[in-house]
Structure 1
Amino acid sequence: MEKMRPEDANIVVDSTYSRYHESDDDDSLSYVSGQSLASSVTRYRYENGRRYHAYREGSYYAPNDDTYSNYETIVHHLWLLTLDDKLFLAPIAEPHRILDVGTGTGLWAVDMADAHPNASILATDLSPTQSTTAPPNIRFEIDDAASEWTYAPESFDYIHVRGLTGCIRDWPFLYTQAYEHLEPGGWFEHAEFSVTTNADPEGESKADKTYHNFSQTILTIGAEKTGQRFDTLLHMKTWMEAAGFTDVAEHHFIWPIGPWPKDPKLKELGRWGERNWQDGLEGWIMALYTRILGWSYQQVMDFVGEFRKVIKDRKNHYYQDVRIVVGRKPREGEVVNERAEAGEMGS
């Protein structure tokens, strides 16, 4: 496979990047810690120094502790930078009944509640890690998005999914659930970032090997070991069209890993993109590598330490693919293509 270079994505490299230090930044990339809901009935799984959800235990690979809450703040900021502070791309001015699937710490849902005070927002997740100071127009519920949804049909006019790669075994089923629970004319939006980068699969450098082997390991774990695929963003548009949505549009973005681009916006994205990998890596792989690959805790930490050195290496110019797909449920009587048979939706 031919290597994707920065110039292939029309990214001009900052010639001073090789001498870049974090002290060159205008701030310290500080963030506010997420808060956890206290509950006398909450149970968690503690493993290798990290805390994981207990409800539907093992169905999600990432921790739900304060460290991961801090990390989710970084990712939320990356999305805001990407979209110039917009919270969604669907062409809907004032959504009234919103469902946020897999809300995590609820940052997006809380921002939506603040931005649309007249909207009613339901945000669901496997873990009760959302803020206790949420606006009054938002409700958090513990739920498994991979199961059959129990809401009344046509309950929402906007459904939002973000960052659930590796969490769902049957994505076409989830898309069908979203279709059924949207009112006619309502919008569905799905946003993900790739676990793959522009690393050369045949490259001999340590960086190329590290990034490529990591991506392939994660993809293999998803496809062969857990059934929860990590190549989600490649199929979102196809799944949305197969589910019956119309006006489907796919938006492409790039997250540089490190502030190596010359363009100011991409440079800022790169600063946070580097932090995304630095702070997220341990949480991404600890459960997967120890439970599935049989690695010890120390092996994972040694790998994370070496990978972080690669991420900080100023000779490297890596980036990852980011996509957002939006689609609309047709109104009654609207002429659209027939919905695909269920067997055709699992591409």
Structure 2
Amino acid sequence: MPSPVGSQPQSPASAGSNPADAEDITVDPNLSDETDSAAGDEVAESTASLTDSIFDYRKIHGRKFQSSRTTEYWAPIDEQQVQGLDITHHFMTILFDDQLYLAPIGDHPQRVLDVGTGTGIWAIDFADQFPSAEVIGLDISPIQPEWVPPNLQFQIDDAQLPWTFPRNHFDFIHIRNLHGGISDWPALYRECFRASRPGGYIEDVEFNIRTLSDLVEPDHIYHQWNALFAEAGERMGRTFQIYDQMHRHIADAGYTEVTAKTWKVPIGGWAADQKLKTVGMYTLYYLDQSLEGFALYMLKNIMGWEYEEIQVLVAKMRQGLKQWKKWQPYYEIRLVYGRKPE
């Protein structure tokens, strides 16, 4: 895992207020036409030490899922899927040039909240970078490690319930990859605004989960997969399309100086840029091991599919991703931050 730098990151000049701006990916001119292969030894695995469960979990075909009073979370929380969360942190940190955040929060944040902390890896890195800060990681699942920096604590709670944090409290509130997990995003951002101190910042990073390609036909498996997840998210009332809405909702909550940055991220190693090539291979590895976990709850519980049908679709999508040299797939990541007025 790359070590976070100790100095205050600067927002790139291209991180303007237009959230649609994203640089195109240059294709590697030496890309081979040989048969594509699955992600394997080309990328390193990332592991996390997990605590024992303190909740009752439900299983769908052997995979463990988490639920709370307001949320049945759509992705598994077993070891296989949890490992993917740390892989995601790894390649996102590379993508952001070893920065944990882009909001101009200054060099001495004192109270920091990580909403939906997952394995807690971002909060751990942040607490290490700012040992004088008090960092809280909040999640509905107790999948965080036991040994953490002394200035970090994890709280098991649901961010969709009314918050008990004091008003005007946090210097920085960080959110990442909660797509499909929140039923009322405007309400969540309003709670963040209430708990932010004047002059404090919010930052949210979300995926556009659609697998995109400029080369495939409309009936390609990428588009079939995208359409199914978009429909399933709307059916369960927790959209996967917050990527397109977060800029507006954060501004509507009251934050000002709202700034967005969008990246096009390759799936596979087809980009000419070495950083994007590396990120693309990590992404391919992450998706290859995570596809079934993504599909099980959404297609079985929400869309009513049979397990065998799900396996067929997953196999087709996995094969489509293995053909990354041919189809040059990519997705988009958007980061939005805003400041609470003084």
Which TM class, normalised by the smaller chain length?
Answer: 0.7 to 0.9
Supply the AA of the counterpart residue of 1:96: Q
- The reply on whether 1:235 has 2:248 as its aligned counterpart is no
Any residues of structure 2 matched to 1:113-262 within 5 Å, and which?
113-199=127-213, 203=217, 209-223=220-234, 225-262=235-272
Q: 1:322 aligns with which of 333, 339, 342?
A: 333
Q: CA deviation at 1:99?
A: 0.4
TM superposition score normalised by structure 1:
0.86
Cross-structure match for 1:73 = 86
| Residues in 2 aligned to 1:102 and 1:321: alpha-carbon distance in whole angstroms | 20
TM superposition score normalised by structure 2:
0.87
Measured on the aligned residues, the alpha-carbon RMSD in Å equals 2.1
| Residues in 2 aligned to 1:33 and 1:24: alpha-carbon distance in whole angstroms | 17
Residues 1:21 and 1:94: Cα distance change in structure 2 (over 3 Å): farther
SS in structure 2 at match of 1:315: helix
Structure with more contact order per residue of length (Cα contacts < 8 Å, sep ≥ 6): 2
Decide whether the 8 Å contact of 2:46 with 2:87 is kept in 1: no
Cross-structure match for 2:69 = 56
Decide whether the 8 Å contact of 2:37 with 2:322 is kept in 1: no
Residues 1:103 and 1:323: Cα distance change in structure 2 (over 3 Å): same
Supply the AA of the counterpart residue of 1:327: G
Decide whether the 8 Å contact of 2:24 with 2:264 is kept in 1: no
Cross-structure match for 1:299 = 309
Decide whether the 8 Å contact of 2:42 with 2:281 is kept in 1: no
Decide whether the 8 Å contact of 1:259 with 1:270 is kept in 2: yes
Q: 1:106 aligns with which of 120, 135, 149?
A: 120
SS in structure 1 at match of 2:326: coil
| Residues in 2 aligned to 1:24 and 1:66: alpha-carbon distance in whole angstroms | 19
- How many residue pairs match? The answer is 318
Decide whether the 8 Å contact of 2:39 with 2:285 is kept in 1: no
Q: CA deviation at 1:121?
A: 0.6
Residues 223-249 of structure 1 show CA distances to partners (whole Å, capped at 9, x for unaligned) of 2x1110111111111111111111110
| Residues in 1 aligned to 2:233 and 2:175: alpha-carbon distance in whole angstroms | 19
Which runs of 5 or more structure 1 residues have no equivalent in the other structure?
Answer: 1-7, 332-347
Q: CA deviation at 1:153?
A: 0.8
Q: Percent identity?
A: 36
Supply the AA of the counterpart residue of 2:339: R
Which runs of 5 or more structure 2 residues have no equivalent in the other structure?
Answer: 1-21
Residues 18-73 of structure 1 show CA distances to partners (whole Å, capped at 9, x for unaligned) of 33766999x6422232222225x432112211011143375210111111111111
Decide whether the 8 Å contact of 1:245 with 1:327 is kept in 2: yes
| Residues in 2 aligned to 1:254 and 1:276: alpha-carbon distance in whole angstroms | 17
Decide whether the 8 Å contact of 1:166 with 1:222 is kept in 2: yes
| Residues in 1 aligned to 2:329 and 2:316: alpha-carbon distance in whole angstroms | 17
Residues 1:20 and 1:268: Cα distance change in structure 2 (over 3 Å): farther
Residues 1:111 and 1:285: Cα distance change in structure 2 (over 3 Å): same
SS in structure 2 at match of 1:154: coil
Q: 1:280 aligns with which of 290, 315, 332?
A: 290
Decide whether the 8 Å contact of 1:169 with 1:227 is kept in 2: yes
